[in-house]
Structure 1
């Protein structure tokens, strides 16, 4: 494809690539740049004081991955432990080991909070303004990569809980769990049914007097082998490196096939997931309504429980945990009143002890309420991005190019993962595309690459949502998110194995407009 070139004035820059964020996306990107573009001058700026992103931020009891580490870990340094599901401290330790082993620490700059990013067509560069220990710094760069995650680090998703202001006990959002908080012998209610709530329930029960997971609607919860997982044939017969590659691609492909089954055979998938959930519950425990979602699997995320820790916590002769499925009428000073339905004594159901279904209308003597009601989506970290002095870009007016760049925004890449698979393969696909576009531009001696929707594509384009989920946190962010299209290269990623192969060898110039200094 021929290049479309605009001539611009040139200027020197501080960096070739600035990466924002030292979480798993930023560290992976730094490795790819170091390996594939060794002459590039790069820097990774992190607002916090350490690497890790999510795994440095979240401190709630039992915080762990909600996808397997064989695919969530780096492709270039496979997860070295036998447990596919791991807690935050071990993931953070793994990341730091990778940084040390591959010498990535020289790119890292901590306590640098990015305030704004401004593109100059005249200079063919970005100016990145950031705050560092009370001082404002500005750096210029040819490329900017936003790897700051998808949620707001400072502000959680606002949850509408009637009467929560009346509660006289402690209210905690998991995103801001108090360090060294002693909850021993406390009666705790966790409001929510997602991965965070399901992680908290069995872990809080180790010290708390009693823990209740209060959910308005249930999620799919599937047990997966973790500690003591038997070795597979590949781990036994293949050389170590070959076994690691096989394991990563097997897990990635298997997950993709499951998602395809849910997408094209929803009734069959729902029945199969139900069998898995029922089989994992304690004997006699009521499956309905606590583990019967109203949606097809992967319309919202499926929650994994390592070795069925949630299900085990609900069993036994004297369990300390229960699940209550109900709407909240109001929170009182020391408890929660639950909503009754017309025509019945109560709409509230509770799975307790041996699994008998009990009628519950109030939760009394509550000491702690944990609002595990979701994260506030914050595309590109909420950083204002401007082009040639214009207003901050409204992302909902832009289309995603290969899930890596945005229409009419030059030399800006963003890292985003999958919602129905591990995060890292998606971020790695973007890093691969970035290095290939960078090398292509060097060969062609051009200085900018801008995705633009052509007239032909625009005429036949239909909108596709950013993250096709029905979860509340996704729905509440719809007006702030960019859009996909129905034709390549504007279509969303939806097949990790295929997407990674395409990022490595596919066409990464169609849809780009190139300019020179």
Structure 2
């Protein structure tokens, strides 16, 4: 198979062409590259805006950053996870991605520091013209198929509410997405604003050295404790070959998580009681638990936050951390005044207030000079766009490990490319759906999701326009799907 060499040079001069251009060298992009080169039929390159692989796991470097998905499902099926912890820290995940790319020779196809800004489809040439910026210079690539594996986080900025009086605050103010290297919380009073996965992870990490950490939340989030070491997995890894043990644990965890999700949606009241009971084992004050850990929404309307080894609850029980449920009235010199009139004194405030989302890596897409309005498109099988040829994008599950759906997406792209080559075709474009009913692509009610949902493609109500959010069903469906269903091919 031909390769793209000199992976750290810019794309200056005449456009460089590959069969498939992958955008992003995170979990999705490296996995996509593995599936493509396994076929040995297509040239490809991976363009990554950052200076090293990892994507999300290179971006977030705040204290305690870790996955809330187990590594036997978050890792690749083809690359067994060998780490000690099932719930791994962010740096271990980033190194796993980097090691995978190097071991399989994918790193030789990656261009780092190469940011994609725009892509235009030419009907005349059946190609994408891709504009890049690298080292302060512009470049151009062309490709027959564009695969965007850039996730949906805005890497340039996180969500930051406009807090009244924040300029009067005399302490340090930080956002987890851009954690200051020089921030030391030793002996200091810290307030973490937010109640999501980032806040729940930050609190115990900061509580190790801080005088006290307060998690300030507008409303509670469902929390579930889970050990970071999987003893069953460790036993299997000692007895069986790595790939077999990995596959067995992966299958068990997939079935377990899907069953848990189904039971939570089918029996929400029983799920609430179970989650409440688990917290009461750490925090026996029922009134405290009901005030700070009883959300107004149903389980899995928003993603369930995992507390590894119960560390968050242990710190609250020990008095190293506390939870306050209230709204911010304004900042003052030495802290935050709440709407209740109470004041939280702080030396450091961390604004874990969520993420800003952007669809398809914020790349400006167009066809023959006409801009593509993503919000006007419908997602085909959750990975292509109605009316847009030879383009796929990758988003993971909201109720399970991201990589599970990313793997299915890449398998589909390879199968589609194989179909085009076998039949001498040049383009594949999802038709526009006949039905008019549409709903959001990302099916969670979290504020950070809802805030930017209007920017994204929508999904329909039936196959192939609806997203199932069930890996077991999707795995069977993708294995036997009709590749030509509501798809327009052109030679």
Normalised TM-score (structure 2): 0.93
Deviation string for 1:264-303 (max 9, x for gaps)? 2222222222222323436778212111111111101111
Asked if the contact 1:425–1:500 (Cα under 8 Å) also holds between the matched residues in 2, the reply is no
Q: Distance in 1 between matches of 2:265 and 2:104?
A: 40
For 2:350, the equivalent position in structure 1 comes to: 370
Deviation string for 1:12-65 (max 9, x for gaps)? 971000001101100000001011x31200000001100001111111101111
Q: CA deviation at 1:503?
A: 2.7
Deviation string for 1:173-227 (max 9, x for gaps)? 1000012422222211000000000000000111212111000111111110124
Q: Distance in 2 between matches of 1:503 and 1:231?
A: 28
Q: 1:213-292 residue pairs with structure 2 within 5 A?
A: 213-227=215-229, 229=231, 231=233, 239-281=241-283, 286-292=288-294
For 1:415, the equivalent position in structure 2 comes to: 394
1:145 aligns with 2:147: yes
Asked if the contact 2:279–2:313 (Cα under 8 Å) also holds between the matched residues in 1, the reply is no
Q: Partner of 1:287: helix, strand, or coil?
A: helix
Aligned partner of 1:425 among 394, 401, 404: 404
For 2:326, the equivalent position in structure 1 comes to: 326
Which segment is superposed worse, 163-172 or 410-419? 163-172
For 1:41, the equivalent position in structure 2 comes to: 43
Q: 1:183-198 residue pairs with structure 2 within 5 A?
A: 183-198=185-200
Q: Partner of 1:153: helix, strand, or coil?
A: strand
Q: 1:292-311 residue pairs with structure 2 within 5 A?
A: 292-311=294-313
1:509 aligns with 2:484: yes
Q: Distance in 1 between matches of 2:79 and 2:157?
A: 33
Measured at CA, do residues 231 and 114 of structure 1 come closer, stay the same or move farther in structure 2, by a change above 3 Å?
closer
Q: Distance in 2 between matches of 1:208 and 1:87?
A: 21
Q: Distance in 2 between matches of 1:228 and 1:489?
A: 37
Aligned partner of 1:102 among 101, 104, 119: 104
1:21 aligns with 2:24: yes
Q: Distance in 1 between matches of 2:283 and 2:483?
A: 48
Asked if the contact 2:147–2:392 (Cα under 8 Å) also holds between the matched residues in 1, the reply is yes
Q: CA deviation at 1:70?
A: 0.9
Q: Distance in 2 between matches of 1:209 and 1:483?
A: 47
Q: 1:144-163 residue pairs with structure 2 within 5 A?
A: 144-163=146-165
Asked if the contact 2:168–2:331 (Cα under 8 Å) also holds between the matched residues in 1, the reply is yes
Deviation string for 1:356-393 (max 9, x for gaps)? xxxxx1112x11111101000111111100011102x2
How many residues were matched structurally?
A: 477
Asked if the contact 1:157–1:373 (Cα under 8 Å) also holds between the matched residues in 2, the reply is yes
Deviation string for 1:68-115 (max 9, x for gaps)? 111111111121124211111111111122112211111110110101
Q: CA deviation at 1:236?
A: 6.6
Deviation string for 1:219-269 (max 9, x for gaps)? 111110124745577557655432211211111121111111222222222
Aligned partner of 1:447 among 407, 413, 426: 426
For 1:437, the equivalent position in structure 2 comes to: 416
Q: Distance in 2 between matches of 1:295 and 1:492?
A: 22
Q: CA deviation at 1:466?
A: 1.4
Which segment is superposed worse, 281-290 or 189-198? 281-290
Q: Distance in 1 between matches of 2:242 and 2:86?
A: 16
Q: Distance in 2 between matches of 1:233 and 1:268?
A: 32
Asked if the contact 1:466–1:482 (Cα under 8 Å) also holds between the matched residues in 2, the reply is yes
Q: Distance in 2 between matches of 1:138 and 1:226?
A: 45
For 2:379, the equivalent position in structure 1 comes to: 400
Alignment RMSD, CA only?
Answer: 1.8
From the two aligned structures, give the one with the greater strand fraction: 2
Measured at CA, do residues 491 and 23 of structure 1 come closer, stay the same or move farther in structure 2, by a change above 3 Å?
same
For 1:358, the equivalent position in structure 2 comes to: none
1:164 aligns with 2:166: yes
Which segment is superposed worse, 288-297 or 261-270? 261-270
Q: Distance in 1 between matches of 2:381 and 2:282?
A: 39
Q: Distance in 2 between matches of 1:34 and 1:180?
A: 42
Q: Partner of 2:291: helix, strand, or coil?
A: coil
For 2:8, the equivalent position in structure 1 comes to: none
Q: Distance in 2 between matches of 1:228 and 1:431?
A: 28
Deviation string for 1:381-420 (max 9, x for gaps)? 11100011102x2211110001110100110110100111
Q: Distance in 1 between matches of 2:234 and 2:52?
A: 36
Q: Distance in 1 between matches of 2:274 and 2:57?
A: 33
Q: Distance in 2 between matches of 1:60 and 1:254?
A: 30
Q: CA deviation at 1:509?
A: 2.1
Q: CA deviation at 1:315?
A: 2.1
Q: Partner of 2:273: helix, strand, or coil?
A: helix
Q: Distance in 1 between matches of 2:261 and 2:376?
A: 29
For 1:92, the equivalent position in structure 2 comes to: 94
